[in-house]
Structure 1
Amino acid sequence: MAYSHDGFGLGHLRRNTNIAARFVRQRPGSNVLLLVGCSVGSFFGSQAGVDFIKVPSIVKVAAEDWHPLNLRISPEKMKGLRASMIQKAAEVFRPDLFLVDHVPTGVWAELLPTLQMFREREDPPRTVLGLRDIVNAPDTVRELWRRENIYRAIRNHYDEVLIYGCPSVFDTASQYGLDVEFPGKITYCGYICSDEPHKTRKQMREELEIRKDKLVVVTAGGGRDGYPMLQVCLDALQLFGQDPPCEVILIAGPLMDPEQKARLQIQAEGLKVRMLSHVFDNLNYMNAADLVITMAGYNSLCEVLRLRKKSLVLPRAGPSAEQIMRAKYFAERGLIDMIHPQDLSPKLLAKRVMAALERDDYPVDDEAIQLDGAARAAVHLSELLGQRVYESAA
C-alpha cells in the first residue's frame, strides 16, 4: 500500500505510480493499492495489480496549510474523513508494506492512527518513508520537523527512508539531519523518471505538422501553480510579433483552475501559439521540442533529464525554496538553464529563448545523475519483504 497526500501537484502521485508499476512487474502476483488525493489519480493509466482509492481532495494554500479542495467542510472534518478512510483501507487490505511519500505523518497527522494500528499488529507491515531530493531550505525543514515531532515519528513508525535523488546533487540526508538521526536506515535510489515509451522526435513532429525548424514546448506540469509562468511566457511571445523564430506549443496541465485556463486562452488570441488544456502524452510533446520551458518541479525536471532535452527552467518563487534550489543545483551542473523568479520578465525571457535555441553546450553528460530511481526503489522494497508469498490475483 502506498500513500500520497497530493495537496498541490502530481509529483507525489507520479513517484508512487512509477514505483508501483516497477514493483508489480518485479514480483508477479503482488498487488499495490494507492491511496491518492488527486482527482486525476487514474491520469497515468492502469495495469494489473495496481489500483487506487481516492480520498477527498485537499489543496495547499500556504506553507503547512491545507484546505478542502471541493467539499464545503472544515479542515478538521476533512482530516477525520480522510484519516478514517485511510485506516479502514489499511485494516481491510492488510498490506505487507506501507510506502509513504513526502509527509511522514500525513497531512494534519492523518496517518498516525494507521501507523499506530500497524504497530499493534502481530505481523506489522514494513513501513517506508520516501522523500524527494529537496523538501525545502534545510533550516526550515529542520525547525519544522523538530517542532512537529517528525524526527520522533520517523524513529517510531518507519523501518527505512528512501531518498529519490543523488547525494552528489543535494545531500538530502545530511542537509536535513537524517544521517545523524537514523544511521543505517537511509538509501539513495536516484531520480524517479517515468519509463513509459515515447515517440521519436521525428515521428511526433510529423504528427504535430511542425513547419518551422525550431519548436518550443512550454509545459506547466500538473498546472496547479503554473498560471503565472504561462502568463509571462505568453507576454514574451507577444514581443516576437507575427513572425516568431519558432513554433510554440503551450500545455496548461490537468490541475489548472478552469478560469485561469480561460484567461490564458484570451491572452493567447492573435498569437502564434498552440494552447492545449492538457495532454496524456507529455513526454511525446517534450521529446519533439528543440527547447522545453518548464518550472522546476520534480517530475518536470526528471522528464527533461530522461529525454536529455535543452530546457529553460522558470522555478516558482514559493511557498517553499524547493524549486529555486533544485533549479540552481541542476543549472550549476550544466543540466539546465534557468531564470531566477526575481529576474524574470517577458523581455528577458524572450531574449533567453532566442539564445537558448542557438546553444549547444547543454545539457552535459553527468554520469553521477542516476535516473533509474523507480527500479532501484522497487528492488529495495522487494528485498525488505524477502520471500513473502502473495495472495494470487486470480
Structure 2
Amino acid sequence: MGPIRSYFDQIWVYGDPAIHDPLRTGEIPEILGSLVRYTGYLAAGRVSHRRSTLLDKPYVLTMAGGGSDGLALVLAAAGAEVPEGYEHLVITGPQMPMEHRRLVQCAAGPGTSVVVQTRDALAEIEGASAIVSMGGYNSIGEIMSTSTPALIVPRTEPRREQLIRASALARRGIVDMCHPDDLSPELVADWFRGAAGTRVDRSGIDLTGITALALLAADLLATEASTPERRRAHAAV
C-alpha cells in the first residue's frame, strides 16, 4: 500500500460512516485510513426544476435509472395494482432497449403511464407519494434529498455495490429494500398501498456532501499552492 499512499493525498468517501463505513468493513484497507475523508451523501442542495409530467391525481413513481438493466424492475412495477386514488408513473430510462420498453407498455395496468424519461427526475421524486427505484448512487442521492418513501431494488450483478448501499440504508429505516429475487407485481402493489402518502425523516443522516466537497477541494488546492513541487492526485469512493 506504500505506493498508493504516495499517489493520493486523500480518499473521499461519498457517504456517512454511521450508515456504512468502508474502513470498518475492510473495503478500504486500514493502512489507508489516515487518507480517508467522509463527505456525507451528495444529497442536500440538489436543485430541482418544474415537473414535465402532468398527472390528474396524486401519483406513485417507478424509475430504473438509465434503464439498461432495469427491465425486471419496471416490468414488475408496471403490472402492479395502483392504490386507489393514485396514478402510477413508470420511467424506463433512455438506455432501455426499444423491445424492452414495448414489453413494459404491454404490462402496464390501469392508471399506469410509461415514459422513457423526464426533464428532471428529482422534481418527479419530490412530487411522488412513494417511489420504487434501483439503487444507483445518483438515484439514491436524489431520493435522500426528499422525504418520499422509497423501496430500493438493487442490482446484484456484476457488482454488489447497489446491494451494499441499499442494505445499509434499509437497516437504518431510511429506505425499504427488496432483493431482486423476491420482486413481483404483488410485492410492489402491497408496498405502494402501505407507503403511499407517508413521509420519511432523513434528517439524521449526513447529506451535506455537495458542500463538503467544495471545502475539501479548496483545502487541497491551498495545500498544493504552498507545496508546488508535489505531484497530486485524488481519489473518490
TM bucket by the smaller chain? 0.7 to 0.9
Q: Is the 8 A contact 1:292 1:310 kept in 2?
A: yes
Residue identity matched to 2:167: K
> How do residues 6-45 of structure 1 correspond to structure 2 at under 5 angstroms?
none
Whole-Å Cα distance in 1 between the matches of residues 85 and 64 of structure 2? 22
The alignment status of 1:267 with 2:104, answered yes or no, reads no
> How do residues 151-166 of structure 1 correspond to structure 2 at under 5 angstroms?
151=1, 154-166=4-16
| Counterparts in 2 of 1:195 and 1:365: CA distance versus 1, 3 Å | closer
Partner of 2:214: 378
Q: Deviations over 1:286-306 (max 9, x none)?
A: 111111111121111111110
Number of corresponding residues: 225
Whole-Å Cα distance in 1 between the matches of residues 89 and 7 of structure 2? 46
Partner of 2:235: none
Whole-Å Cα distance in 2 between the matches of residues 342 and 384 of structure 1? 44
- Give the C-alpha shift of residue 246 in structure 1: 1.5
The partner residue of 1:316 within 149, 155, 159 is: 155
Q: Deviations over 1:136-159 (max 9, x none)?
A: xxxxxxxxxxxxxxx566334222
The partner residue of 2:74 within 225, 230, 253 is: 230
Partner of 1:211: 56
Whole-Å Cα distance in 2 between the matches of residues 372 and 353 of structure 1? 29
Whole-Å Cα distance in 2 between the matches of residues 235 and 273 of structure 1? 9
Q: Deviations over 1:67-116 (max 9, x none)?
A: xxxxxxxxxxxxxxxxxxxxxxxxxxxxxxxxxxxxxxxxxxxxxxxxxx
Larger Rg belongs to? 1
Q: Is the 8 A contact 1:189 1:373 kept in 2?
A: yes
Partner of 1:221: 65
| Counterparts in 2 of 1:377 and 1:341: CA distance versus 1, 3 Å | same
SS for the counterpart of 1:217 is strand
**TM-score normalised by structure 1 residue count:** 0.52
Q: Is the 8 A contact 1:334 1:364 kept in 2?
A: no
- Give the C-alpha shift of residue 285 in structure 1: 0.9
Q: Is the 8 A contact 1:312 1:356 kept in 2?
A: no
After superposing on structure 2, the runs of 4+ consecutive aligned residues of structure 1 that deviate more than 4 Å are: none
Partner of 1:353: 192
Whole-Å Cα distance in 2 between the matches of residues 196 and 305 of structure 1? 10
Aligned-pair identity in percent equals 29
SS for the counterpart of 2:88 is strand
SS for the counterpart of 2:180 is coil
Whole-Å Cα distance in 2 between the matches of residues 323 and 168 of structure 1? 18
- Give the C-alpha shift of residue 353 in structure 1: 1.4
Higher relative contact order (CA 8 A, sep 6+): 2
The partner residue of 1:329 within 164, 168, 183 is: 168
Partner of 2:87: 247
Q: Is the 8 A contact 2:23 2:33 kept in 1?
A: no
| Counterparts in 2 of 1:276 and 1:175: CA distance versus 1, 3 Å | same
Q: Deviations over 1:363-386 (max 9, x none)?
A: 23442x111212212211221111
Whole-Å Cα distance in 1 between the matches of residues 101 and 78 of structure 2? 13
Q: Is the 8 A contact 1:244 1:272 kept in 2?
A: no
The partner residue of 1:306 within 136, 139, 145 is: 145
Q: Deviations over 1:36-55 (max 9, x none)?
A: xxxxxxxxxxxxxxxxxxxx
Question: For structure 1, which segment, 273-282 or 250-259, has the greater mean C-alpha deviation from structure 2 after superposition?
Answer: 250-259
| Counterparts in 2 of 1:233 and 1:186: CA distance versus 1, 3 Å | same
- Give the C-alpha shift of residue 348 in structure 1: 2.0
Residue identity matched to 1:210: L
Whole-Å Cα distance in 2 between the matches of residues 209 and 352 of structure 1? 24
Q: Is the 8 A contact 2:75 2:103 kept in 1?
A: no
Partner of 2:128: 289
Q: Deviations over 1:342-366 (max 9, x none)?
A: 32222222122111126x4x52344
- Please, what is the CA RMSD of the aligned residues? 2.6
Gaps of 5+ in 1: 1-150, 390-394
